[in-house]
Amino acid sequence: SAVISQKPSRDICQRGTSLTIQCQVDSQVTMMFWYRQQPGQSLTLIATANQGSEATYESGFVIDKFPISRPNLTFSTLTVSNMSPEDSSIYLCSVGAWGSNTEAFFGQGTRLTVV
Amino acid sequence: AQTVTQSQPEMSVQEAETVTLSCTYDTSESDYYLFWYKQPPSRQMILVIRQEAYKQQNATENRFSVNFQKAAKSFSLKISDSQLGDAAMYFCAYRSADGAQKLVFGQGTRLTINP
């Protein structure tokens, strides 16, 4: 199993500002994922973050808005830039399966409110 | 691209009764994994049960079992002897077996347990 620490757990931010969310894993993992969960909605993948290469973004998400860093195999950050109220969501970090383990593990999420 | 559909936004069940949550998916792949995740108000995503597509036998975890119909692309979750602690959002998720590791989620079903 993997233990994922994500912080902050919640924040209230002013529109036009940026917030960086941190994700720390207790073991080395190849792939880390960032999901967005809008109020009352399901989880949507923002991007896949691999160590040593640029993140791969899903359709509808761009690097200028959601820059991601992956400096090593246990850590990643997601920045939500130039925020607007529409960015109010829960953002979740996840690590994928490795070896024969098919389970994905999630951080506890960051609840972001933009005012 | 794969899609996952949960047609029941909300379900309710009496405590100790049995409830079934529906999930259908669309894929052209022959090898993949299916999951049911539970998300209580704490926001933590908790794996309930998983199914490998190459296995014909339905997965079972204590009070939780699935009805996996590969030809019909159906993957329902049955919760027996429902308990108050089962109240949560339940998400059905799909993962390719190609190493990409990312998950595609359904819209979710909010399950209420009536005492």
Span A55-112, pLDDT tens digits: 999 999 999 999 999 999 999 999 999 999 999 999 999 997 655 557 889 999 999 9
How remote is the C-alpha of B60 from its chain's centroid? 12
* Token pair 């960015």: residue: A87
Report the pLDDT value the prediction gives residue A2, as an integer from 0 to 100. Answer: 83
Q: Is the peptide bond before A8 cis (omega within 30 degrees of 0)?
A: yes
Report CB contact under 8 Å: A42, B107.
yes
> pLDDT confidence of A45, banded at 50, 70, 90?
very high
Report CB contact under 8 Å: B101, A31.
yes
Which residues 65-104 of B have a C-beta within 8 angstroms of A?
Answer: 91, 95, 100-104
B20, B78 contact by CB (below 8 A): yes
Please state, in angstroms and rounded to a whole number, the distance separating the CA atoms of residues A94 and A87.
19
Please state, in angstroms and rounded to a whole number, the distance separating the CA atoms of residues B77 and B71.
17
- Tell whether B43 is within 8 A of chain A (Cβ): yes
Integer CA distances (angstroms), B69 to A68, B9, B106, in order: 38, 21, 17
In Å, how far is B74's CA from the nearest CA of chain A?
19
Report the pLDDT value the prediction gives residue B56, as an integer from 0 to 100. Answer: 87
Report CB contact under 8 Å: A102, B50.
yes
- Tell whether A72 is within 8 A of chain B (Cβ): no
Report CB contact under 8 Å: A42, B91.
yes
Instruction: Evaluate if residue A10 carries a pLDDT over 70.
Output: yes
Question: Each residue of B38-74: pLDDT tens digit?
Answer: 999 988 999 999 999 999 899 999 999 999 999 999 9
